[in-house]
Amino acid sequence: MTDFETICNKVLAGEKITRQEAIDLHAVPTEPLCRKANEIRQHFCSNSFDLCTIINGKSGKCSENCRFCAQSAFHHTNISEYPLLPADEIVAQAKINDGLGILRYSIVTSGKRLSDREVDQMCETIRKIRKETNISVCVSFGLLNEEQFRKLKNAGVARVHNNLETSRRFFPEICTTHTYDEKINTLRAARKAGLSLCSGGIMGIGETQEDRIDLAFTLRELGVQSVPVNMFNPVPGTPLEHLPKLTVEQMRRIVAIYRFILPDAAVRLAGGRGLLPDKGRSCFTSGANAAISGDMLTTAGIMIETDKALVRDLGYEVKPDHE
């Protein structure tokens, strides 16, 4: 087992830790682990805090069987179902978020991938957003190809989101209608198209601590700089509705270890943050330095003004992470 101080010094010196060293961090008590993770965050990211919002641009009837997801057609949940939202509605929400000081606005759609026609439709919407606001646009449109991503980039998209969800080992336990490699190829296609990447996972869906570490190492290999850490929010009607919710301490430890593995990334608290009694405050002093604000796709989130006050109180400055 590698000494904790040796691992800390290695990270602060700009060296990459090994998988075994990351596993060794599980033996470190919570408080020293989180304090050092916060020191690493400060060293590599200063006091920058990236705040973004999302809009559910197309909801439900998804062809994929992800066992955690309320939008899957395989499950029986009570979510709203609708096709692509009209441009005016998406643009109007972008303007509201821009006015509230949000840096990034992500359009997320259900389904395995948007069709070419839908991609063209969204390109027109994105051009309007970029023309009428100063907000940066991200998209999560499923398993697109490089040509489609180039169209989106030319329309004004800056970043593509596509969560890997978990480790390669555990992924077949979560989804069988598409593969881990399809997701990785999607991220690589987006990178080839000149877009930055946002990808992370869901914690608490039955994975092991090693699965979480393996996910982080895959993200490091792919050069992902925005890493959403979702806390699983069990939805009635899904196969995983029986799983227990993670605790604040568990989430703190997860983001802390992610900070050791991904020292200069935006480690972003995402879905499920509202389940935490402190709304993520202690995670933001344990290595996390970004968040999705406002409502999530199918669940309520935290008000933007509430988050901005929290960020200011912690001494952060809202500014964009890496492009």
CATH number, domain containing residue 98: 3.20.20.70
* R_g over Cα of the chain: 19
Q: How many domains does the chain have?
A: 1
> What element of type H or E holds 202?
strand 201-203
Instruction: List, in order, residues 6 or more apart from 179 with CB less than 8 Å away.
Output: 171
Domain extent at residue 226: 48-246+272-278+302-318
Q: Is residue 260 part of a domain?
A: no
- pLDDT at residue 271, rounded to an integer: 87
Q: Is residue 15 part of a domain?
A: no
- pLDDT at residue 138, rounded to an integer: 97
> What element of type H or E holds 292?
strand 290-292
- pLDDT at residue 304, rounded to an integer: 86
Q: What is the C-alpha separation between 219 and 241, in angstroms, rounded?
A: 27
Residue whose structure tokens are 């914690």: 203
- pLDDT at residue 169, rounded to an integer: 98
Q: Is residue 286 part of a domain?
A: no
In terms of pTM, does the model score above 0.75?
yes
- pLDDT at residue 59, rounded to an integer: 87
Contact status, residue 259 vs residue 37, Cβ threshold 8 Å: yes
Q: Is residue 19 part of a domain?
A: no
User: pLDDT, tens digit, for every residue of 219-259?
Assistant: 999 999 999 999 999 888 898 999 999 999 999 999 999 99
Contact status, residue 142 vs residue 163, Cβ threshold 8 Å: no
State the CB neighbour count (10 A cutoff) for residue 28: 18
State the CB neighbour count (10 A cutoff) for residue 312: 12
Contact status, residue 296 vs residue 271, Cβ threshold 8 Å: yes
User: pLDDT, tens digit, for every residue of 259-291?
Assistant: 999 999 999 999 889 899 999 999 999 999 999
The CA distances from residue 53 to 96, 136, 250, 294, in Å, are 11, 11, 25, 6
- pLDDT at residue 323, rounded to an integer: 54
Query: Could you tell me the sign of the dihedral formed by the alpha carbons of 29, 261, 138, 131, in that order?
Result: positive
Looking at the chain, how many residues does it have? 323
State the CB neighbour count (10 A cutoff) for residue 101: 12
Q: Is residue 156 part of a domain?
A: yes
- pLDDT at residue 318, rounded to an integer: 84
Q: What is the C-alpha separation between 276 and 127, in angstroms, rounded?
A: 37
Torsion of CA 240, 266, 293, 35, to 10 degrees: 80
- pLDDT at residue 70, rounded to an integer: 81
Q: Is residue 124 part of a domain?
A: yes
- pLDDT at residue 248, rounded to an integer: 96
Residue ranges, the chain, pLDDT below 50: 298
- pLDDT at residue 319, rounded to an integer: 78
- pLDDT at residue 297, rounded to an integer: 54
Q: Is residue 126 part of a domain?
A: yes
Q: Is residue 157 part of a domain?
A: yes
